[in-house]
Structure formats: structure tokens, C-alpha cells
A and B are shown apart, each in its own frame.
Chain A
Amino acid sequence: MKAIHRKRIILSLLPLALMLLFIYAYPLLRVCVSAFMGFTGSSAGKFVGLKNFQIIQSDIPKTVATTLIWTFGSVLPAMVLGLALAVLCSRDFRGKRAVVSINLLPYAIPLIIVASCWRFVYNPDFGIINIFLKKIGVITDSISFLGYKNALLSVIVARIWRATPFAFMNYYSALTTIPAEQYEAACVDGANPVQRFFRITLPNLKTITASTLIVLTVWTFLVFDIIYGMTGGGPVDATKTISMRIYQEMFSMKNLGTASAWSLIAIAVLVTITILYWKFMDKEDA
């Protein structure tokens, strides 16, 4: 490679590299170090081995389980709904543009405002679902949507609401790339719409499904705003995901060590998924 090219490449990438080093690489390195350092009382500033992990140990199984339920409980339904919506909109009909626009709307709304809007929906005193169910006589007492039993499900529904448009967009544009001839051929063979969906549509959506699944999983895994704004991680520990733990350790316990320990657990999961995704994309490109 010519020297002039090398210089250009380096100059072009330098600002990007500096940014990523400063905002990502260095803090990540510090997380890895801090997770094994003490920050409180007599252990401040010392290497403490696995002590931070021992402190949070008893919370790990429940927190990880909650995080996984939160992640897959919202990603999978969001993808199914997104696909259904995309199939619904894959043909022209009157009012289609409105349906598309309305269903994309949640995607533009800040997560913290998503949380506050859903708090109105779920409110035990004036929430619209409770009022509706009472009016039609299904219930007499309010359902406690954000109470201990339902809280996780309720925040998941809010997350589904926000994630569905993303899955929808992906499927919607993927559907337009399926060659019409495939459908025509299937019609000639006498396949009904259901058979056409399973024989042609689904196989063609394999790649987009995989990448949407991974991307949504990774981004849902550490969503903070929705849970923070709706339940604050409670009641008790019903909605305490890893991101809630990081925040709590950092600002309520004021312990960078245990906060970093939680971060490290999350990072391990994320890096693993990223590598799998990278390999998968390589295979798709080849």
C-alpha cells in the first residue's frame, strides 16, 4: 500500500479511534480493574480479589433470571407482532399508510416517556385498562399491574410496545425483497395463503430474523429507562435487572467495585453475543 494512502487512512480514522478509546475502551478497561478493587471503608483503593462478586453473589441468580425473562419475554413477542404487522401491511389497502405510521410511532418516543405513559395506562385508580375492565364488568377490584406478581409482565408489555416497530420495519422492508415469481409459482402449484407463508415467506426471512433477534436481544438486555421509570426495580426485586443493579450499586450503595462487578457480568454476555453475531454475519456475507 502506498504511503500516502496509509497516511490518509490513519488521518481519516484518527478522530473515530480517539473517540472510541476515550468513551469506550478506557472505561471498559477501568470496569475490568474496578470489579476487583475495593472502594468503601478500609478496603478503599486496594485489590480485593473476588470480594465484590461475593458481595453481590446472593443476588446474581435472581437478577440474571429476571434479566433473561425481561429480554426474551419482550423480544420474542415483539418479533412475532412485528412480523404479523409486516405481513398485514405487505399488500396495499385503503388506510395502509396510516396503519404504518401509527404503528411506527412508539419507535420515536423516548424510553423514559414510554415509561410514564404506561404508568398512566396501568394506574390502579385512573388507569384506562382498569376503568375499561370495570365498565364491561370483567373485574370489580383494580388489577395491580405494577404490583409484585404482575410488575415484570407489565414492564415487558411496555418494552414490546416500543420494540415491535423495529421488528416491523425490518420485516416490512425484507418482505418487499422476496421475488414475486416465487409466490406466483406457488399459486400455480395450488398452495393456499397459509402454505405460501410457511413455504416461501418464512424461509426468505431467515437472515433478517436472525439479525433482528440478535440486535433486539442485545439492546433489550440492558434497557434501563423503562424499568427505572415504571417500577424503579421493585416491588421487592420483581423487576431488578442487571442494569438496575448497576445503578443501585453506583448511586445508592456508592460502590464502584460492585457496580463494576455487575457491569462485567453484563459485558461478558454482550461480548459473547457480539462474537457470535460477527461470525454469523461473516457466513451470510460469504
Chain B
Amino acid sequence: MKKLLCIVLCIALVSTMLFACSSPAATETTTTEPTETTETATTETTETAPSSGEVTTITVLRPGDEEKVASFMEPAIAAFEAANPDINVEIMYESWTGWIQTYPTYFEADTQPDVIFWWDNKLYDSSAHEHIVNLSNYLSADFFAQIPDGVWNLVSTGDMDGVYYVPSSVDTFVLYYNKDVFTAAGLDPNSPPTTWDELLSAAKTIYEKTGMPGIGIPAITGSEVLEEFVGLFLNQATGAAILDSSSMPQFNTPEGLEALTFLSQLAPYAQTSPTEYGRGELRPLMRDGQLGMLIDGPWAVPTFKAAYGDDLDNSPIGITYVPLAANGNKIGWAGTNGWIATRESTAAASAKLIEYLMSPEVLLAHHLAYGSAPLYESEFDNAAFQYDYWKVYYDEAQNWTLYGMIGRNSATPAAYYTALEEVWQQLVLGQLSAEDALAAATAAAEGVTARNN
């Protein structure tokens, strides 16, 4: 009995040691599976680096599933280091959730990575803003030219003079629909809805004929998905971004009301209890034929590919453009992610790394590993992007007027999501009429802006 303390501590120490011994093995298994395409990237690097004695060490972070990130990042970094012996790169891993939770702490503590895969709407984020480095002097004009103009327009960084952010992936929404469900509901699986009216009637038909939800509405709490879903319809109807450059709401118009009215009509044909579903919960329903339609980004593709193989063109999953509002304007939602550098002292090395990560081979490997749509037209040369459905994403990004993520001019972008989410949840739950939701959302957005002034 007297030895109890010893026993407790011994157990703790022994287990500690056991885990210490077993963990190196654990890290090895997750990191040694480079994909075929990334190997090509490795062999094609022929740049010669200036040989100076000093070695700069920088850290790089691409949030996401460690396996996916490691599969393209590790070979790319190995090749980069080989070509640049004066730069030493450490790769960090964070899940998206973990990263969103903790990036303010990283920046406050000044322990953030030197190079980060960032969002275009968080350049003014009060935690990060003053850390983000202007890369104009470190990158060449040729480099900027290789990124399509449409993409640059999307990420105009307001009054931040210079290039602070290099867009690396553009994620647009498309309409996924399950052809089997369409057939079961007596709809033609080869002519998916192209307008809001058709969308509504298809959702209604599926709901009434099959008992399945016609459309999936991702409305789970604490995520950005619902605001992005509602925002898409508001963008289309109003032809404007959600917030203007001084972060004031622009949707309080008859067109905005039209969009919210449409959503309140659509909501009854969505899955029961929309607030229990995010996109991650809806995708398996679509995959298993328990949901008619789903508006989602290219991130949904891996879930469907896992079930039906690479060729989704010949699968039950249909992929088409997001239906248009009555005004017929080709306006879509898009979010971009891209690279930022966060320290002036390592900016030169960081810029070199960003340039390398944006080289076509690495970018292709990145997009393939993570399920993003092509950014360069040259990516279509790769076999994986040969299927027709990838054109849908590419077209959405190239040929549409795009309004991206909200809060880009604000010190607290996340606050708008939080404030608007409550209103949109009430709208899709039928607790607020379209008129009341419009007023409440306007007040909520103005409230957040007022707090920051």
C-alpha cells in the first residue's frame, strides 16, 4: 500500500517509454507513400542553387489530412532542398480544424510557420495581418503571368499594395446529383436542373416521389459551410459580393430577398434537421444514393472516387454547373487558398519555396493529392484530369464572375460567419421568414462591422 505512489508513477513512466519507442514506427508508416505523379516532380528539378555557406531554415504548412499532404509535400520538399542547399525546409502538419482553432495563437506567439497555405479572406485577420510579407520584390513578373488573370481578380487584396498572397487553388461550387435517385424519381438523369426553378421542382419531385431529401443543405454549427451555401444564392441574385470593401452588407435589396425567399421554399425538401449535417456528413448520403442533389466543391470528389473510381463521368454521380438565378447572370461562388510568407527575415527563401510549390508539376501533384480542381490549363494534360467533369470546375472558375469568401477587409473575418450562421440556420429551419432573415442578417453583419470601428 505504501508503494502506491511508486506504482502510479512507474506506470506513467513505463507507458511513456513504451509510447516513445513505438511512435517513430508510427510516423514512418504515414509518410512513405509518394504518389506516382509526385515522383515525376522530383526528377524534373534541375535548377542550380547559389552555393553560400549560410543555411536558412524555414517551416512550411499546408493544413489538411497528414497523409494527403505528405504524399505531395515530402517529395517536393526533398527536391527543393536538393536544388537549394542553402535552404532547409521543415514540413509541419495540422488538420484544418486544428489549424483554424489555433492560428491566432500561432501568430500571437510568433511561432507561425514561415510559409502557409492561407485563405484570401483572411489577409486582414487581426492575428495575421501585420505578419504577412509583401512578395512583389521577391517574385518575378514571369511568375505572376503564369497564374490566370481570372484568378488574380478573385484575390485582389484591397488596399494592400503589392503581392501578399499567391493563389494556388480555386475551389468553385458545382451541382452534384445522383443519377439513380433522379431515375427513381422519374427525372431525366441526363438533364439536371439549370435554373433555380428547375432546381426547386427537381428537389420537390425527388422528395415527393422517393421520400429522400431532394437537396442537401449543410447547416451544421461552427463551420463556414452554411454561409457559403446561402452566400452563393445571394451572390447570384444580387450580382454583388456579400460585403462591400468597408465590410457593410450589400444583400439588403429586393434581389437579396428573392434569394432568401427561394431558399425558404427549397428548405422543406432538404434533409431532415439540416443543422446536423455539414458537407462531410452529406457526401456519403449522395454517394450511397440517399440524397438527390448537393452543392459542393471539388473536395467532394475523393469521396466519390473512392467508391466509383477515377471516371466519375460513368458513375451514378452527375456533376454539372450550379443552376442560375432568374436574371441569368453567370455568377458563382469561389474560395481560393494560396501561399503567404510570414517573416521578413526569411522572405527570400520563402518566396523561392512558394515559386517552387507553384511550378506546374508540383501544383499538379498538390491538386491531385488533395482533390482540388486544375488551376493551370496545362494540368488537363494529365490523365487524371482527362475526365469531362473536371471541365465543369475549370469553367466555373474561368468563365464566371466570382465572389469569394466573406470578411476579406475585416480584422475579424470569422465573426461574420458566426453572426450570419445563426440567422441562416433560423432561415433553413423555418423559424424566420425571408423578410425577417434579411433584416436580421443585415443587422448581424452591421453589428460585427460596428464592433471593429
Contact = CB atoms under 8 A, between A and B. Distances in A.
A124 B276 contact: yes
Contacts of A225: none
B48 to A, nearest CB: 46
Contacts of B421: 234
B325 to A, nearest CB: 27
Contacts of A125: 281, 284-285
A40 B431 contact: no
A114 to B, nearest CB: 18
Contacts of A255: 451
Contacts of A148: 275, 425, 429, 431
Contacts of B412: 40, 252-254
A42 interface: yes
Nearest to A235: B275
Contacts of A41: 451-453
A235 B272 contact: no
Given A40-B452, A235-B221, A236-B426, A253 B415 contact: yes
A7 B415 CA distance: 53
Contacts of B281: 125
Contacts of B276: 124, 144, 146-147
Contacts of B331: none
A232 B100 CA distance: 14
B139 interface: no
Nearest to A123: B276
B414 interface: yes
A234 B22 CA distance: 40
Contacts of A142: 272-273
Given A142-B272, A144-B272, A235 B451 contact: no
A233 interface: yes
Contacts, number: 79
Interface in A49-73: 55
A257 to B, nearest CB: 10
A253 B448 CA distance: 8
Interface string A243-275: 000001001111100000000000000000000
Contacts of B451: 40-41, 55, 253, 255
B219 interface: yes
A234 B219 CA distance: 10
A253 B418 contact: yes
Nearest to B447: A55
B248 interface: no
A233 B221 contact: yes
Contact of B222 (A147, A232, A237): A232
Given A144-B272, A144-B273, A251 B104 contact: yes
A284 interface: no
A252 B272 contact: no
A141 interface: yes
A146 B222 CA distance: 14
Nearest to B100: A251
A235 B126 contact: no
Interface string B236-261: 00000000000000000000000000
A34 interface: no
A124 B216 CA distance: 14
Nearest to A58: B447
B272 A231 contact: no
B426 A248 contact: no
A55 B448 CA distance: 10
Interface string B261-295: 00000000000110110000100110000000000
Given A125-B285, A251-B104, A253-B412, A236 B425 contact: yes
Contacts of B275: 146-148, 234-236
Nearest to B281: A125
A148 B276 CA distance: 9
16 contacts: A40-B451, A41-B452, A42-B453, A55-B451, A124-B272, A142-B272, A144-B273, A144-B276, A147-B272, A147-B275, A234-B275, A234-B425, A235-B425, A237-B422, A252-B417, A254-B126
Given A146-B273, A232-B220, 10 more contacts: A41-B451, A41-B453, A124-B276, A148-B425, A148-B431, A232-B221, A232-B222, A236-B426, A251-B101, A252-B414
